[in-house]
Structure formats: C-alpha cells, structure tokens
Structure 1
Amino acid sequence: MLYNYDEILVKDVMRKDYIMLSENCKIKDGIKSLLENNMKEIFITDEKKNLKGIITATDISRFMKQKVNEEMLMKEYMVDKLITVCEDESLRICRNVMIENEIGTLPVVRDTYLVGVIRKQEIMNFFYMALEKAGIKLEHVVNSLHEAVCVIDENGKVILWNKSAEKLHNVAASEIIGKPLADFFPEAMNVKVFHTKKPVENVYHSPRENCHIVISSVPIFIDESFLGVVSTEQDVSELQKLVKELQKANDTLVFLKKEVERYANDGFGKVIGKNLELLKKIEIARQVGKTKVNILITGESGTGKEVFARAIHDYSGEKGLFIPINCSAIPNELFESELFGYEQGAFTGANKKGKMGLFEMANEGTIFLDEIGDLPMFMQAKLLRVLQDKVVRRIGGEHYTDINMRVISATNKNLKEMVESGIFREDLYYRLDVVQIQLPPLRERGGDIVLLINYFLKELSKQNNKEITKIDPEVMEVLQRYVWKGNIRELKNTVEYLVVLCRGDTITTDLIPNYIIEETKKKKYKVGGPLDLNKSLIAFEIDLIRQALKLAKGNKAQAAKLLNIPRTTLYSKIKNYEMD
C-alpha cells in the first residue's frame, strides 16, 4: 500500500477549536457563541467538565424556527446520546463510524472529558491530502520503473503513460494522456485487449530496428465492471545483446576447449629445426609477423604449415584468436554457415540461439585457411568479398559486422596452375599471395630429423605414460636414411608407433616397421637421381661416416682413424652434412 490509513490515529488529526458550555447556560448564550466563533456545534458539560451532550447549528436553526424560549437552559434541548471515540483510535475507524451513524461530528474523549473533535471536513481533507500524496508516490514509482507502463480507461483513453513509455515510443505523456491510444498506436496490445477483454502475457515484438520488447497486457475489472487495460513493456534489447555476447563467449570457449584438447595430444607446438633453408623461412615470417599482410604458406603435405602459421600468429602479438579451418574437411553445404554463422531460426535444423561464424571468431586475430586450394568456387567469391569489405553478415541476419583479421592460407597444390586452369579465382589468389613462404620437405632438412625424433620421443613418451630415454643408433640411422614422403606428420606417427610398442626404455631395430627397412635398403645409395654421381658420392660418404661413428661408439677421433682421414676433416664433413 502506498498509504496505510490504519496507522493514522485520531490524536494526530483531531481539532481543538471547539465551543464548550455548561449545561446550565441558556439557549441565547449558545446562539451568541456559535455566531461569534463561526462554529457548527456546542459541546455541553456539567460542572465537573464531564461531557454530557451536544447542540449543533442545525438544532439552533430549528429552535429559532419553532420560536423556542431563548431563556431555556441548554441541558433541556441538548442531544445526550453521544457517539464518541478515544484519541488512540485509527482515523479509518472514525470514518466508518461517521458513515454508519450518518453524523458529521465525532467528539474525542479521554475518560469522560472532551479533548478534541473529528469533523467530516477533517476526514475529507485528510483523505484528500493522503490520496494526493499517494498519487505523487505512485507517479514517482511508476516513472522509476524500467518497464514502459500504459493504462487506458473504459473509453480507451490513456490515463497513465510513464517515463519509460515516453522513451520507448518517443511520445510525451502530455501529448498522449487523455486521448485514445488507438489514435497513436492502432495495433497496440492494449487496444487489442480493450476489445477482447482477455489478458496476454510475455509476448515478444520489435517496434523498430534493434529494439526488442516483451509485453504483457491485462484488462481491469472491479466488481465485474470493466474499467480499462494496463500494460507493461520490458525492453530486452540489452538482454538480447547480452545473450548474443554470452553466446559468442560460449562459442569461443567451446572452440578453445577443442583447441586445448587437440594440442594436449599434439607435441608439435613450435617450429623445430636448424636447417638453413628453414631458418630463412622463419626470418621472413618474423619480418612480416608484426604486420597485417596476408601470407600464403606452401609445401608438401605434413611439412608443418599449420604449426608455422600458429607460430606467426603467436609472434604477431594479436589479441584475438588463431582460428584454423581445413577447407577440404567442410562439406560444401555447410561452408557458409560455418564461416559466416547464422541467426536463430535461419534455416531448418539451425541452433535456436544462432551461431557465431569463424570469421567473427577470428576478429582481431588470425584465420588460417588450410588446404585453400580445395575451397569451392562459390565460397571463393564470398571470401574475396570479406577480404575486400572487411565485413560479414550472418545467414538470416540483417546487419553487417566489421572484422579486422589477418588471413594466412596454406596449400600443397600449385595455385598458379589452378588459376590458369580456371578452377581458382585469380583476384583471390593475388589477395592471398602477398607474401609466400615455401616450407622445405623433411628430406631436405638433413640433421633436423634427429632433432624431431628426440622431441617427439620425449613428448609422446610422456603422453603414453612411458619412460623411454634412448633410441638404438641403428634405429636412428635407418630413420635418417628413410625418405619421409609424409614429412613431419609421417615421422611423428612412426615415432609414436615405436613408443607404443616399446617394452623397455630403449627403442630397438626390431620395432621398426618392415616397409621402412625395405625402403631404406632399396634407396641406400640413391639419394639423388640415378645418374647424379655427386649426390650418390655424398650419400655414400654420409653412410660411411655413420658406420664409422657407430663402430667407434660415437668417438669422433677413433672414427677419423677408421676412415683414414684427419679429425678436422671429419668434423668439417659432419657439420656440412648437418649430421650433429
């Protein structure tokens, strides 16, 4: 309740401006007192001031018409059956007593003594003032609500329109109050409820762009009499925005969880190698890493293009995410929804909350398009538009979102030949191939094979709960001689195979897959072309050095004696052939 009338007591409201005469006074004295004091009643008391009765102005008027003898005593004409009230009674009780007994004056007594008076006018004035205060409070309360509140009367005219309604509908209260709501909003929910007399609850509607509202509208009935309609409209635009932000955060968390799980099982988290050609590529990557330039990484399958791309992203210091996409693994019909995302209800089977696309997820970060040569032609055009305009729009959406991302692409195909064949867009090719970094295959990285084997051995042993600390030199020799067509990926898989099957702390030759042993036997002296004498001699020389080191158990001085060459010459050859 805005005002509790039961808490208002008689003693707080009663008046003390009243006439009190002795019962032995004459009628003429009473008439004189009423006229002089402009009062409506006289309270009659005995000699001890005990309240005995009352004579009102109406009684005096009747006496005069009847020509009552004014010398008569008051006690002979007073009303002695008084209805009184104590000073601690509530004002609401006083009002009810006066209404039930049809009286306009109520004496307030303490024991039998008069201490005040409650008149009908005091009751009315007080309740009017209380009603006015309640109205002011109600106005402040209603205007403080975040919800828009509208009340129309039984004629459909607006009688309440709070500040939130003004803000939501851009209509001032002074403009709409007292006028039919239908004149301003013919399709308003209150207008519909006004005609149907049936309530509606939590109905969503969007009165204008980027404005999302939930409205409830209820008819007002008192004693089965229709008095109007009240509605509340809650602006959930911020909530809608928050839901989208939360969904975006959730999509990001899901993605990061997958990435963490993926890299928790992948020991290759950085670029490993000392090969001069690889080091040159790393230097180029460092030079362009801090820029926003698009990069195309080429190389055979399994050469570590994604790891290299991730290293560039990490080096760049971009605050956004690294988002890898395998263009050959996404079905054509899902490409657009995966890359651009979609709004709720965009198509059958869509997530009810919508989904953020990978382009949006890569904002302020890097998107890595692996196997870019497998990107369908229709998506090539859309990708080109994103790179040109730097905006995306979700499927089923109406608004464009600005994006700021770097694009790193990778392929093991010859894109230039694909452009000439008409299966890859030339304009997109030049957009992607601003800086090209071609990674060397593992067979051209010599001593890096040993580094990678040791790295994978440590990581994969830990992942598989093994304690393998050594690899038999013969095993290392065979693995170095083998031509890794699958490059680093094949090497890693092979090391994992050896780790899983190893029963002790050392990997031995009996664990090596037969196809590797057979291949190394066939290619033992065929490192170069079959007629390339120089490369064959180099391969033969490397093989002899390895055998000598094996017989000397790694002692280079002893190995030099076995090879019949100076120790300095052996050191030089080991360095040149990157055999460390």
Structure 2
Amino acid sequence: MFLIPKTTLVKDAMSKDFIMVYEEDKLKLCLEEMLKNNLTDIFVIDENKNIRGLLTLTDIAKIKIKKLNEYLPIKNFMSKEIVTVTKDISLLECRNIMIKNKIARLPVVENRSLIGVIRVEQLRDYFYMKMEELGGKLNHIINHIYEAVCVVDKEGIVVIWNKNSEKLYKVLAKDIIGKKLKDFFPKAILLKVLETRMGVADVYHCPPRKDTDVVVSAHPIFIDGEFVGAVSTDRDITQVKKLSYQLEKANSTLKFLENEVKKFSSSNFGNIIGKSQKLIKTIETARQVAKTNASILILGESGTGKEVFARAIHDYSQREGLFVPVNCSAIPSELFESEFFGYEAGAFTGASKKGKIGIFELANNGTVFLDEIADLPMHMQAKLLRVLQEKEIRRVGGEKTININVRIISATNKNLKKMSEEETFREDLYYRLNVVELSLPPLRERDGDIVLLIHNFLKEMCEQNNKKIPQIEREVIDILQNYEWRGNIRELKNTIEHLVVLSKDDTITKELVPNYIMEKVNKKIKKEEYPMDLNKAVLKVEIDTIKRALKISGGNKAKAAKLLNIPRSTLYYKMDLYKI
C-alpha cells in the first residue's frame, strides 16, 4: 500500500563519502584529511584493505585534551571495537543497532572491505523525510474521509481539523489548529471525552446549524498506556435523514394505497350513481369548484355518500397528491395532534423510534377529507385553523416547520352553522371550511335513483359473493321504492347484500325483504289509503293531522293547537274523542 514505506536497504542509502588510511599513517596527517574533507570520522585499514579501526572527532578531542604526540601512527589511537553491517540489511535495522550500541555510524563492509558508511545524520534525514511523506499522505487521507475529523491533545488544543470539519462547522483549519477547541465549541462532545477519558459512539448532537443533523463518535487516545488526547468523527446525517424521511413517507404512502385498494375492492364503488335533478345540480356545482383550491363543506344525512362525493371531487381536480379520508369522531382526543401533524422520534412515551408523518404531510399536494368535522375537539379546531391560514405544520416534538399544499373537504350531518352560533364550533373555522357548501339530497328525495342503485349494488354484491346475478321481482322493487331509507345509500346497499346472499333459484322474492322494511312500507301504504265513505275519510284525515301536529310540536298541546289553527279546548276535546 502507498501508506506503508518501502523497506530501504543499506546499499541504496549508504554514503560513499569516507576516508580510509593505513594503520601506519601519522595521526597529524589523518587529522588534516578529516578537516580537508569536512568529515567527522576516518576509517583505518590494513595492507589488504580490510577495516581495522575507526577514529572520530570525539576521539580526536580527547587526544587534544591529553596533548598526545600527533606524529605517532593512527593505530595507537583508533577504536578497534567497531560494529559493521552488510549492504543488504535495512536502515531500520541499522537504527536499532546504533541505539543498542550507542554509536553514531556503521561501516558497511563486503568481504571485510569497506564499501560505504551509514551515519546517524543520514538516518535522521531519511526518517524525517519519510515522516514528512507519510504525514502528507495521512493528511490527504484524513481530508478525504467523509466524516468531520477532529483531534485534540490532552490540553484540548486542536492538532487535526480536516476539510469536512471545515465544511460542516464553517471554521477553517488555519483558524482553529493550535487553539483550544472549547473557545470555538464549548459544548463539544469531544471535550467531555477529554475530561472523562471515556469514549462515546453514534451520539446525536445538537446541530451546529439549524439545517444540519450530526451524529458524533469520540474516543480518548492512549499511547503505551499514556493519555495523549482524543479524536472525534462527526457524521453529517442530514441527507440520510432526508432519505429516511422520504422512504418513511413512501412506505406510509404505499401502506395507505394498499388500504385504499382494499376499500375500493370491498365497500366503495368510487362513482356517483344517479340522475335525479337534485343530485345532478349538486354534481354540476362540485365539478365547477373541483379544480379550484376552495375549501368545500359537504352536508347530508348519514349514508348519503359524502366520502364518495369528496373522492369524486378530488379525482376530478387532478391534484397530484393523495386523497386522505379522516373520520374525526374515530380518533381519540389525545391522539389528534400526532395523527394530524405527525411526530418526531421519541416525541412521547410509546412513540415510534422512527417517528411518523401525519395526515397533512401524507396528503401534501392532495386532499384531506375531514368526515364528521363537527366532532373535532375545540383545541384541534384552533390548530386546524392555523394550518389553513399559514399552510404549514410542525410535527409533535419537532422544531422545523413543514410547508404543505392541501385542499380541505369536510363533511357533517349536523347543523354546523347552528353549532357555531351556540359556540360549540369555532365560527372562524366554520367560514374557512364553508367556502363552498354542497348539500347532498337524501335517497328518498332522489326520484328514479333507487332503481339505478338497486341494479348497481346487485351486480357488485354478486361479484363479491361469486353468485350469478338473480332476477328481482317487480313487487320487490316497488317495496324498496316506497321505503323511506333513513339510512340512505348505505342502508340500501346493506339491504341488497342481504337479498343477494339469501336468494335462491336465481330470484329475489318479496319473502326475502327484511321485516322492518315490510312493516314500514305497509304502514305507509295503510296510512295513505282512505275509505270510500266520506265521513270516515274525513275522520281519518282529522286524526292523522292531529297526530302529526303533536309530533311536530313535541307533544306541546298549545303549539299543536296553534299549528292546527283551532282553540286549545277544541284540541283537548278531539284528543279525548279519538282517544289520541
């Protein structure tokens, strides 16, 4: 690898700049040669050029101090105990030999003849050069590590600050290296590690900037048991968190769509069926406002198909996002905020470790359908109003605001205007939701639509129950048309399913019609039949009219008399006469 220094052999690094003298040469001559060549050592050889000894400047200094005779042969002064090496060992081995023997040079010999020398200066220069080269390589590697790397000494002074540290924390290396880390980041996790000398791993750190998320790992540095500093790697997980959020949103969307597909395949037919004038007029209004951003309030009795209508508006609007239906009466009060706005990881006890996106985020660029809006708690009404005004939300436990683009369609079977007047529903929210109001007619007021719906549900239920579509007797259709359908379309659909699963011989007969429907229809028919005797007919009308007035007045006889336009005494008389 390029980081590991190549093994350098003596033969590639030894100096050939050396002086050789014979044993009989005079010391004075040897001194002159050393000075002339500016060397600190001289090697003594015999007549066969085999190395016999060594003389250094240190030895000469001792000679001068003792004032010895310089005209004597050098063999009288040389060191005879010399350590030699061969040309094929490494410089690292030379270093170890020098340290062990406390010497500053090593003669290199081959066949006992001197061919070179390794001096301590060469080793020092060589290792300094390698250290500098290695340092450059390490610096290059550290600067290309994805994490932000910071190293401090035991005093907390920064010694390493890589490029990604500059990028993440917006502090240049030249401004922080050599200075105390706490002067720049007084709450840095690395300072705690420096103090406790205990490492930490993958700790979420308060972001240095609002738009970043950082995870830190930091550890103390010990060399040969001695504490020398600490190192930290700070990983910017902003993109990872964004990708995680997108994946979470995609998973939530997928799960939602799976549920929606199940709905379409089981209970929702997805189309509005009917041709009555009241329905057609409502559809025309809905089509006109569908492609706008206006909030829509759908009013209608239970079972009139408010969600189906809302979904049709969303589909016609061609909004890119999802249609997300919410039953406001089915969400526990304490969960409203987390369901609508989502929550961050660990926002409250029992919260998912990954957090959760809320209804408004899920429906971004789409439609939120708030069914049973009248049941929305007061504290949530205020927060919903703020979302509609500001077009932004904040997750529970979160700090960041999230911009949203959501169309609101709400629905109720209650008198929302009256509730706002009675201050049980916020008036300002009512007007925000009721930019356009659509009133769905009850099934009993949709002339001709019952037969269309009967045949549609008949086909749908047969497909679901793997049955052949049966014939339906005309009398059964007449009975169903005469029934008032207080439960509207939902009740009709359930009734058709009842008839389909109980039908035999591919025919739906009168006997299969539920008893409660037969009783209501018979009572209605009986009520509408008058005897041919005029006196009896008048009597029946009078009795029915009095009963109707009492029902409208809630049993208040004074109000009933006023409705009937007769004195109260006359009403009492007739009630007693007819045993009402």
What TM-score do you get using the length of structure 1 for normalisation? 0.79
**Which stretch has the larger CA shift, 54-63 or 427-436?**
54-63
Maintained 8 Å contact 2:304/2:488 = yes
What TM-score do you get using the length of structure 2 for normalisation? 0.79
Alignment root-mean-square deviation, CA: 3.5
Shift of residue 313, structure 1, vs aligned partner? 0.6
Q: Which position in structure 1 is the counterpart of 2:550?
A: none
Maintained 8 Å contact 1:275/1:448 = yes
Shift of residue 448, structure 1, vs aligned partner? 2.9
SS of structure 1 residue aligned to 2:495: helix
Shift of residue 96, structure 1, vs aligned partner? 0.7
Shift of residue 79, structure 1, vs aligned partner? 5.7
Q: Which position in structure 2 is the counterpart of 1:409?
A: 410
SS of structure 2 residue aligned to 1:272: coil
Query: Quick one: distance in 2 between partners of 1:335 and 1:438?
Result: 27
**Which stretch has the larger CA shift, 236-245 or 354-363?**
236-245
Q: Which position in structure 1 is the counterpart of 2:118?
A: 118
Q: Which position in structure 2 is the counterpart of 1:66?
A: 68
Give the aligned residue type for 1:89.
I
Q: Which position in structure 2 is the counterpart of 1:189?
A: 189
Query: Quick one: distance in 1 between partners of 2:10 and 2:523?
Result: 117
Query: Quick one: distance in 2 between partners of 1:364 and 1:283?
Result: 24
Query: Quick one: distance in 2 between partners of 1:411 and 1:496?
Result: 26
Maintained 8 Å contact 1:34/1:41 = yes
Aligned pairs for 1:95-174 within 5 A: 95-110=95-110, 112=112, 114-174=114-174
**Which stretch has the larger CA shift, 1-10 or 491-500?**
1-10
Query: Quick one: distance in 1 between partners of 2:155 and 2:310?
Result: 71
Shift of residue 297, structure 1, vs aligned partner? 1.7
Query: Quick one: distance in 2 between partners of 1:372 and 1:527?
Result: 39
Aligned pairs for 1:381-392 within 5 A: 381-392=382-393
Query: Quick one: distance in 2 between partners of 1:347 and 1:147?
Result: 31
SS of structure 2 residue aligned to 1:523: helix
Q: Report the CA distance shift for 1:300/1:66 in structure 2 as closer, same or farther (over 3 A).
A: same
Query: Quick one: distance in 1 between partners of 2:236 and 2:489?
Result: 56
**Identical counterparts, % of pairs:** 56
Q: Which position in structure 1 is the counterpart of 2:86?
A: 86
Maintained 8 Å contact 1:360/1:403 = yes
Query: Quick one: distance in 1 between partners of 2:390 and 2:183?
Result: 45
Q: Report the CA distance shift for 1:466/1:94 in structure 2 as closer, same or farther (over 3 A).
A: farther
Q: Report the CA distance shift for 1:206/1:512 in structure 2 as closer, same or farther (over 3 A).
A: same
Shift of residue 263, structure 1, vs aligned partner? 2.6
Identify unmatched segments of 5+ residues in structure 1.
531-580
Query: Quick one: distance in 2 between partners of 1:155 and 1:433?
Result: 67
Give the aligned residue type for 2:88.
D
Shift of residue 469, structure 1, vs aligned partner? 5.0
Query: Quick one: distance in 2 between partners of 1:231 and 1:394?
Result: 31
SS of structure 2 residue aligned to 1:232: strand
Query: Quick one: distance in 2 between partners of 1:400 and 1:480?
Result: 54
Shift of residue 517, structure 1, vs aligned partner? 3.0
Give the aligned residue type for 1:143.
N
SS of structure 1 residue aligned to 2:142: helix
Q: Deviations over 1:372-392 (max 9, x none)?
A: 233333333332222222222
Q: Report the CA distance shift for 1:78/1:471 in structure 2 as closer, same or farther (over 3 A).
A: farther
Q: Report the CA distance shift for 1:33/1:465 in structure 2 as closer, same or farther (over 3 A).
A: farther
Q: Which position in structure 1 is the counterpart of 2:432?
A: 431
Shift of residue 75, structure 1, vs aligned partner? 7.5
Maintained 8 Å contact 2:268/2:308 = no
Aligned pairs for 1:143-542 within 5 A: 143-206=143-206, 208=208, 210=210, 211-468=212-469, 470-503=471-504, 505-524=506-525
SS of structure 1 residue aligned to 2:320: coil
SS of structure 1 residue aligned to 2:141: helix
Maintained 8 Å contact 1:34/1:57 = no
Q: Report the CA distance shift for 1:195/1:413 in structure 2 as closer, same or farther (over 3 A).
A: closer
Q: Deviations over 1:301-336 (max 9, x none)?
A: 211111111011111111111111112222333333
Maintained 8 Å contact 1:3/1:130 = no
Give the aligned residue type for 1:107.
P
SS of structure 1 residue aligned to 2:231: strand
Query: Quick one: distance in 1 between partners of 2:127 and 2:60?
Result: 30
Identify unmatched segments of 5+ residues in structure 2.
532-580
Query: Quick one: distance in 2 between partners of 1:528 and 1:313?
Result: 47
Query: Quick one: distance in 2 between partners of 1:124 and 1:377?
Result: 81
Shift of residue 508, structure 1, vs aligned partner? 3.8
Give the aligned residue type for 1:67.
N
Q: Report the CA distance shift for 1:151/1:499 in structure 2 as closer, same or farther (over 3 A).
A: same
Query: Quick one: distance in 2 between partners of 1:291 and 1:23?
Result: 112
Q: Report the CA distance shift for 1:275/1:96 in structure 2 as closer, same or farther (over 3 A).
A: same
Maintained 8 Å contact 1:11/1:88 = yes
Query: Quick one: distance in 1 between partners of 2:470 and 2:11?
Result: 98
Query: Quick one: distance in 2 between partners of 1:78 and 1:505?
Result: 128
**Which stretch has the larger CA shift, 437-446 or 104-113?**
104-113
**Which stretch has the larger CA shift, 517-526 or 145-154?**
517-526
Query: Quick one: distance in 1 between partners of 2:54 and 2:269?
Result: 109
Shift of residue 289, structure 1, vs aligned partner? 1.5
SS of structure 1 residue aligned to 2:204: strand
Q: Report the CA distance shift for 1:439/1:3 in structure 2 as closer, same or farther (over 3 A).
A: closer
Q: Deviations over 1:377-415 (max 9, x none)?
A: 333333222222222223333333222111111222233
Give the aligned residue type for 2:237.
V
Q: Report the CA distance shift for 1:511/1:84 in structure 2 as closer, same or farther (over 3 A).
A: farther
Maintained 8 Å contact 2:26/2:70 = no
SS of structure 2 residue aligned to 1:18: coil
Maintained 8 Å contact 2:55/2:79 = no
Maintained 8 Å contact 2:54/2:82 = no
Q: Deviations over 1:515-544 (max 9, x none)?
A: 2333333435879999xxxxxxxxxxxxxx
Q: Deviations over 1:176-232 (max 9, x none)?
A: 333333444444434444443344444433154634433343333334433233333
SS of structure 1 residue aligned to 2:324: strand
Shift of residue 368, structure 1, vs aligned partner? 0.8
Maintained 8 Å contact 2:54/2:80 = no
Give the aligned residue type for 1:433.
N
Q: Deviations over 1:134-189 (max 9, x none)?
A: 22222233333343333333334333333344444444433333333344444443
Give the aligned residue type for 2:264.
Y
